[in-house]
Every structure is written in C-alpha cells, then in structure tokens.
Structure 1
C-alpha cells in the first residue's frame, strides 16, 4: 500500500493534469512502439520489393541477351543451310565450307564450333582447325532428333561435352532435307557454356545469389555460382515449373531452391523465341541479415527518441504528432504530384484515340533513329499506312463508328510481331506510321505486307469501298535510308508518302516499296 501511494504521488495521479500527462505518456509510448514496428515492417517490405524488382529486371535483361545469342546462332545455321547442296552433301567443297564455317565462328564469340554432318552422321565440314578423332555423331541426341522429326526449325539440346575439345557446350542444330523432304543431315553450332559463365560473372551478386539459364523442360544449362556438377540436372519439380511458368512467362516469386534448399527471391523470364528460361535469385536469409544490420541504428535511435519523448512531456508529444502528420501529408502530396506529372508526360506522347504513339513521339523517335543510323550506318525504314476510302466510311457510318474503326485498325497493327525498338504511331487522321530502326527495304516491305494482310483479314465491314470485298483495307508505302544528312527525316517521310501514293494508284489494299530505297 505504501509503494502504491508513492507511485500515485510521484505521477500526480490525484490531479487532473497528472492523470492527463500519464495518459498521454502511456499512449505516446504505445504509439512510439507501434510506429517503430510499422516503420521497420514497411522498411523490410520495401527491401523485399526492391529485391523482387531487381530479380525480374535481371532475369528479363539476361533473357534478352540469351535470345540475341541464340538468334545470332540460328541465323548463322540458316545461312549455312541455304548455301549447301542438300541433294548431295557428299560432293560439297570441304575446303570452301571449312573456311566459311571458320569465318562465321569468328564473327560470333559465343560459338565453340560449327559442323556439317551428312545423313549417316559423318562430319563433312567443320570450323575447327583440326578434325576430332570421333567424327561421326550419329549417336548424338540432336542427330537422332532431326532424323525422327521433319520440321525445319532449330533444336536446342542439353549440355554435352565436345568430342573435339572436351569443353561443355550447348548444341544448337538444324535439319538438312533433300529436295524430296528426306533427311539429308544436320548443321550444328555449339555454344560454349563458358560464354554464359563469363558473361554472368560481370554481375555483382552475393555468394548465394543465383543466375541460371534453363531449358523449359527443367534441365540446367548453366547456373552461377554452382559448379558444373549441376549442369543437366533436372529441376522440373521446382515451383518455377510446377507453378509459376504455368501461369505467366515472366514474374517473381519466393521459394526454396531445389539445388541447395536455400530460400530465394526469384525473378524469371521465358524467352519469346526459344524453349529457354532465365532465372535470377537473391538469397533471402542474407537479405534479412543485411537489412537487420542496416536497421540497427534505426532501432537504437527509435528507443532513444521514445525515451526522450517520455521525458519531454505532452507538449513535445503533441508537436511531434503534428510534424509527423504534416510530413505524411507532404509525402502524399508529393507522390500525388509525381503521379500526375508522370501521367501528363505519358499523355503528351500518346494518341488519345488509339493509345499509340502520337505525332510528337513519332518525330522524336524518328530523329533519334536517324542519329543512331548515322553512327551505325544501318538503314532506318519508315512505313506509312493509310485506311482506304476512310472518308466514305465516316460519311456512311458516322464519326463515332469512324473513331472505332481507327482504334480497331490501330490494335491490329499493334499486334504485329515487331521488335521492342520499333515504333507504331498514329501519324494523323486515318494515317499510321511504323518506324523500323536497323531495317532494310525488304524487311520493311515484309512488315508492311503483314499489316495490309492483317487489316484485310479482320474483315471490318465497309459497304462503300466500291470494291467487291466490302471490308476495310489499308495501303502502305515503305522507304529506307541511312542517316547522315540534315534533311533525312523529310526525305524518309516523302519517300514513304510517295510509295503510299503509288499503292493507292495501283488499286489500294497493298504495300509497295519506293524503288529509290
């Protein structure tokens, strides 16, 4: 009872002011503890979110690198196949093709070797300086695969040990067929596993962080930082294959790795063209340890602030609460202004009707592409597209239907399989444009014809075309040039407009290239 009275008197609980101070001090203490816990929780969530973004960004960037690596290899294989006398491979000029393969190999740093095999698996040409002891590869998986399958696409096999040098390589092969469609042999490219090992070593990762190239069947092609013992190990039971890739081609998730049973924050991206997937994983326990170490000063500081707040009393407490509220409001206002500014920037570069790039973004992108062309000396192609008889469409169906038609055509063009660095824009009215950097006239004409075919195939009704089809069609004109002059943008647009005009004159619903390209 005596101690109780001492505490009661020390805290002045017998007065209204004392009770108020005690109440607010207790409330402040609880609020301080709750706020510190919330702040630390948010800090950890942000650390995880940043790691998730880093993981998916790394996996996407490396999927692009892998896509480029295998695409270069595929193009080399197709070039070789086109130059072969497939009806009688045994008659090919060994010296000439050895030189051709060696030259191609020198151009592509990822290649270990290039080989040509006849239908019996005998090596007929190689990029290597010496012929291996075992020069018949009819027992290899890729050879058996192409003998059984008649399609002309490439095949990416599991990692093998080269019989020529003993190096670990990824076989990339393509079938040779004779004029009757029969099996005539295989053209093989081998990509060095060390190429990916060397490339992945550039990234600054922690000891247990992971960067991997896998087949979609779950087979390991290469994993940093693991030894070569894990290569060709099958991980199809991993959540990546049983759960994540079944739902989406790229993303992030957290699971326990099958290789070493370490929990990681993973990002993954499936290659668009090839049956491969790139995975980046960050060690979650290590992330927790780093976060805890970095947050230790915050923990100490929060404790000191709580103690100081208890000593300074109600007035300081109320001021602190006001400051926190003001900071929160300012942060919310700043975020809102940032969001509005970002939205305005996007709106300034997008067409309000179709959602495509607008004329401003078109002009900026064209200028940048021509400047890059002047440096690389690679051509830039421009495709101008115009909806045929659009005025008649507007007059007959009305302007609301005309706007719907423009949106539909824009969506059709947007679905074309273009590269990430190409730009589709609404040029004005019923006219659209496609800018294709690093693209020559033949490839541009191919894209233009795809666009014309796609719009025609959509069968948008148009009763006033004056033709027998009565559907909306487009005409397209292409022009290509290599940047370097001040008036390149004007020349490019005039050249494409001229080709478009020619397409209109010759009957519309077609794509033509300017012969001056």
Structure 2
C-alpha cells in the first residue's frame, strides 16, 4: 500500500489533471513503444531477408563454380577416352601417355591427378609419371560402378584418400569400352579437396558461417569451417534433404545444421549437370548479435524521444527501468557468451574421434606438469603408443573401419583406470600418449605393459597384421625424467619416449619397452 501511495503521489493521480496527464502519457508511451518495436522488428526482418539473398546467391555462384570445376574434369576425361589407341587400353604407350596426362593436368589447377586403368584395375598411365606401390584399384567404388554400368556418363564418387600421395580427393571417373562396347577400363580424374578448401577460404565469412559441397545422396564432400572429420558424413536427416530439395532445386530456409546443431540461414543450389549440392549458411545467433549492436543507437534514440515526453518523476522511473532491462540483457548475454566460451574450450581440448585429450591439451598438460615437477623434484613419465600396422588395417578394412578401430583403442586406454592426475591423449593419427606425473620408470613401464595387454585382449580383428596374432596390437615406449625447469624438458621427454617406441617396433611390435638412457 505504501508503494502504491508513493506512485500515486508522484504522478498526482489524486487529481483529475494528474489522471488525465497520466493516461495521456501512458497512451503516448504505449504508442511509442509499439512503433519502436515494429520498426526494430522490420529492421531485423530486412536483415534476415538480406542474409537469405546473400546465402542463395553465394550457393548459386559456388554451384556454378563447382559445375565448371567438374565439367573441366569431365571434358579432360572425354578427351583422354578419345585418345586411347584403337587397340585398347592394353596397348597404351605408357611413357607418351603419361606425358599427355601430365600436360592436361597442368592446365587444370583443380586436378590432383589423371589415371587410366585396364579392365582388371591395373594402372596403365598416370599424370604422376610413375606408378605408386599399390597400382591396382579394382577395389575402388568407382571401378565397380563402371564395370556394372554400361553408360558413358561420368561418375562422381565420395571422397577417398589417394594411394599415390595420401591426399583427400574426389574421384571423377569415366568408363572406357573396347571396340565391341565391352568394359575395357576406367579413366579417372581426382579433384583435390584442398582446391575447394583454398577457394572457400577466399570468402570473408564468420567463424561459424558454413559453405559446403555435398552429394545428392547427402554425403559431405567438403564443408567450411569444419575439419576433415565431417568429410563423407551422411546428412540424410538434414532438412536440406528431407524437405527443401524435395520441393525445389534452389532456395533458402532456416534450420539447425545437422553437423553441429547451430541455427543458420541457409541458401542451397543443386547442380544442373552433376548429382551435387552447394549449401551456404549464415550463423543466425551471430547475425542477431551483430544486428543488435548496429541497432543499439536507434533503440537508444527511440527511448530518449519517449522519455522526453514524460514528467521528471516518470523520466527517472523510466531511466531506472531501462537500466534494469539493459543490465538483465547484458547479464543474459554474458552468461550465454560464457557458456559458449566454455563449450568452445572443451571442444578445442578434446579429440573429436576418440573423446580423449587432443594434441593441444596434451602439450598444455605436459608443459604444466613439467613446471610443477621441476619445483617438487619428482619424476615425470611419458608413454608413447602406436597401433601396429595401422596403414595396412586402413587399406584392408577401409577408413571408416579405421576410425572405429581408433575409437575402440581409445576406449580401451580410457578403461585403464589411471589416476585423475594422469592424462591419456590422442597424439596424432594412430599414435596415443599417456602423461604420468610423479611416476618413476618402473611404474610407467607397468602401465605401458597393461595398455599393450589390454588392447591385445580386446581381440579387434586385424588380418593384415604381421605380428602373428591377427588382432590389433600396440607398441609402446616409456621414458622418465626429473625436469630441470628449462625448455628442453618436454623435448627430451618426447624424444626419449619416441626412441623407446621405435625400439619396440624394431623388436617386433606388440610390446612395451622402457628407455634406460
């Protein structure tokens, strides 16, 4: 009651003039607020509409660029097919045809390489001028496709890793026929993923804005700003494939990305000639924050105009209310940014495939551990572990199975139940590392032996292993030192563990060795 009486006295509501002025001011305030809200809403809608236009224009332009890229590759393949000798692929003069392929490749910067294979999958010519160690590609998807399908159109496959150089490439292939129309082999052009990576990096986009090229079967060929882990991921549950492409070949819409669940304003365009789609997406939360910053002067100006119509007491009340509102918005924005920052920090320190610590967290942890140990005079141990014959595993089972193998090994290492002060990390590729603070050489060697035994006991099949057990195994190297507190500690620890790991491999793998130096 006291609060109500205070407000009534401040606004002179006990008089007819006071009530009239209060009603007039209230109506004026409501009208002003409604007008400001409508104006700001229209401004936001125009910002969204502009982003939608930019997204679809970007996707259409990149669809045309992609179409030109693959059209040039197709024309090169058709030219190669026309120049295959009448006697067929088997009578190709390798030296002259290699030079011919090299000349074509030099004219097309998007190409990683050009190849010709016979009906048995044997490489007959290559733009690299020399054949790789594995020169038979009969197991590749595109080879099986052309052997099964008799049409003369090009086939664009999913991303593969080149056996010639190890690069990620998109295979563009064309069937070669003999004089009777039978299957005689395959002409192959490989388009570099790095070509799209470098080209897409030319565009000034936000850190979470997306630009991607995908197959119409919902497989990712390349997506900026994500790393190569998303390549060949299937996004068939994305609204792009469940809703939008069913209705139209190009357009725009807003949805949560199937890759990272971020809400984006998307534009998309299906290529006319090839089974590919280009999508461009603008981070909607970031767009909102940018719009809010740009609109802040308008918001303040409207508030000032409204506040100027009020009496001194109402002006003071309005200022207080605006300040409270602004503080609430800033608090919410700060909490949101803090949450996003924590999320990004967690993502930046974790390996996306195994869930273990990544290389960055490993380096930070090792540096801090060595500094602490230098003060206490206690030893620090490092175990380096490497999956035996993992390249042979990848070549035999495929890269998807290779990723699953890495995940399984990561789970086994995680279940070793080490101390909370220890760190298990994926060091890179098929290599793992365990940092053991306050641990001597003997204890570290015991843990390394446990890790090797645990992975071997997991019985993950590896028919290509040369260790003799035909299951996935580890080699481990251990090294311990008491740090001196200088910059060489980390290097010496890594070199020692790496040397021990090398000794374990030279001794036959599937074992742990501790360095005595």
Given that residues 95 and 129 in structure 2 are in contact (C-alpha distance below 8 angstroms), is that contact kept between their aligned partners in structure 1? no
CA distance in 2, matches of 1:240, 1:45: 22
2:110 aligned residue: 110
Given that residues 86 and 184 in structure 1 are in contact (C-alpha distance below 8 angstroms), is that contact kept between their aligned partners in structure 2? no
Residue 23 of structure 1: how far off its partner (Å): 4.1
1:304 aligned residue: 304
1:276 aligned residue: 276
CA distance in 2, matches of 1:218, 1:275: 10
CA distance in 1, matches of 2:182, 2:220: 33
Give deviations 1:355-405, integer Å, cap 9, x for gaps.
Answer: xxxxxxxxxxxxxxxxxxxxxxxxxxxxxxxxxxxxxxxxxxxxxxxxxxx
CA distance in 2, matches of 1:110, 1:9: 74
1:85 aligned residue: 85
Give deviations 1:212-240, integer Å, cap 9, x for gaps.
Answer: 00000000100001110110111111110
Structure 2 residue runs of 5 or longer lacking an equivalent are: 313-517
Q: 1:6 to 1:254 in 2, by over 3 A?
A: closer
Q: 1:297 to 1:249 in 2, by over 3 A?
A: same
Q: Is 1:215 aligned to residue 215 of structure 2?
A: yes
Give deviations 1:12-53, integer Å, cap 9, x for gaps.
Answer: 9546xx776544332211101111111111111111111111
CA distance in 2, matches of 1:187, 1:78: 9
Residue 310 of structure 1: how far off its partner (Å): 2.9
Report the TM-score when normalising by structure 2: 0.57
Q: Aligned to 2:169, what secondary structure does the other structure show?
A: strand
Q: Compute the RMSD of aligned alpha carbons.
A: 2.2
1:247 aligned residue: 247
Give deviations 1:81-101, integer Å, cap 9, x for gaps.
Answer: 011125432112212211111
- Paired residues for 1:117-156 under 5 Å: 117-156=117-156
Q: 1:8 to 1:198 in 2, by over 3 A?
A: closer
CA distance in 2, matches of 1:76, 1:208: 36
Give deviations 1:96-124, integer Å, cap 9, x for gaps.
Answer: 21111100000000000000111111111
CA distance in 2, matches of 1:210, 1:8: 55
1:344 aligned residue: none
- Paired residues for 1:365-444 under 5 Å: none
1:200 aligned residue: 200
CA distance in 1, matches of 2:221, 2:6: 73
Number of residues paired by the alignment?
310
Residue 176 of structure 1: how far off its partner (Å): 0.5
2:191 aligned residue: 191
Report the TM-score when normalising by structure 1: 0.57
Q: Aligned to 2:88, what secondary structure does the other structure show?
A: helix
1:259 aligned residue: 259
Q: 1:174 to 1:224 in 2, by over 3 A?
A: same
CA distance in 2, matches of 1:254, 1:233: 21
CA distance in 1, matches of 2:74, 2:6: 86
1:166 aligned residue: 166
Q: Aligned to 1:310, what secondary structure does the other structure show?
A: coil
Q: 1:309 to 1:111 in 2, by over 3 A?
A: same
Residue 299 of structure 1: how far off its partner (Å): 2.1
CA distance in 2, matches of 1:181, 1:4: 98
Given that residues 86 and 177 in structure 1 are in contact (C-alpha distance below 8 angstroms), is that contact kept between their aligned partners in structure 2? no
1:37 aligned residue: 37
Given that residues 52 and 266 in structure 1 are in contact (C-alpha distance below 8 angstroms), is that contact kept between their aligned partners in structure 2? yes
Q: 1:164 to 1:307 in 2, by over 3 A?
A: same
Residue 309 of structure 1: how far off its partner (Å): 2.6
CA distance in 2, matches of 1:201, 1:296: 31
Q: Aligned to 2:190, what secondary structure does the other structure show?
A: strand
Residue 131 of structure 1: how far off its partner (Å): 1.5
CA distance in 2, matches of 1:81, 1:66: 23
1:293 aligned residue: 293
CA distance in 2, matches of 1:224, 1:245: 21
Residue 6 of structure 1: how far off its partner (Å): 7.4
Q: 1:5 to 1:21 in 2, by over 3 A?
A: closer
CA distance in 1, matches of 2:28, 2:63: 51
Residue 8 of structure 1: how far off its partner (Å): 10
